[in-house]
C-alpha cells in the first residue's frame, strides 16, 4: 500500500510561471515532510522540509504548504526556471525512515 502518493506523473510549465506539485499521504503519524529533486544518474537532492506542526515553510523560490486535515502537501516553485526541470519526490518521515512517493516529472519550457 502506497502511504505517500504523487498522482501526477508529469507536469509541464512555462518559464516564469508557478509550478505546483502535489502529494497526498495516508498516515497521520508522519511528523516531517520533505521534497527532493532528482536529475538522471544522480541521487536525490534535498529541497525543503516542513514539520507537521507547521502549515507553511518558505525558502527562496520554494514554498511547501501542509494541510493536515486533508493529508495533503504541495510544493510551489515561483518563478519556474528551465533548470528546475527534474523529477520531484515527496517524502514523509515514519519513525526514523523516509517514505517516498513515486515522483512527478517537471518540465519547464521557455
Q: Rounded to whole angstroms, how far apart are CA atoms 9 and 102?
A: 8
Minimum separation from the CB atom of position 15 to another protein (A): 26
Binding map of another protein across residues 49-68, x = CB under 8 A, - = no contact: x-x-----------------
Question: Cell numbers of 11, please?
Answer: 507536469
Applying CB under 8 A, does 75 fall inside the site for another protein?
no
Nearer to another protein, 7 or 14 (CB): 7
Q: Rounded to whole angstroms, how far apart are CA atoms 83 and 79?
A: 11
Q: Rounded to whole angstroms, how far apart are CA atoms 62 and 22?
A: 13
Region of 10-18, 67-75, 77-85, 100-108 interacting with another protein (CB under 8 A): 100-108
Q: Rounded to whole angstroms, how far apart are CA atoms 19 and 29?
A: 28
Applying CB under 8 A, does 4 fall inside the site for another protein?
yes
DSSP three-state, residue 81: coil
Q: List contacts with another protein (CB under 8 A).
A: 4, 32, 34, 36, 41-47, 49, 51, 89, 91, 93, 96-103
Amino acid at each position: 500500500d502506497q502511504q505517500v502518493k504523487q498522482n501526477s506523473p508529469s507536469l509541464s510549465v512555462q518559464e516564469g510561471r508557478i509550478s505546483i506539485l502535489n502529494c497526498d499521504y495516508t498516515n497521520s503519524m508522519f511528523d516531517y515532510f520533505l521534497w527532493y529533486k532528482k536529475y538522471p544518474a544522480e541521487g536525490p537532492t534535498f529541497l525543503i522540509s516542513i514539520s507537521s506542526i507547521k502549515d507553511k515553510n518558505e525558502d527562496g523560490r520554494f514554498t511547501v504548504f501542509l494541510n493536515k486535515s486533508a493529508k495533503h502537501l504541495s510544493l510551489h516553485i515561483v518563478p519556474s526556471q528551465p533548470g528546475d526541470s527534474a523529477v520531484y519526490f515527496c517524502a514523509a518521515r515514519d519513525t526514523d525512515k523516509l517514505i517516498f512517493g513515486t515522483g512527478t516529472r517537471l518540465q519547464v519550457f521557455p
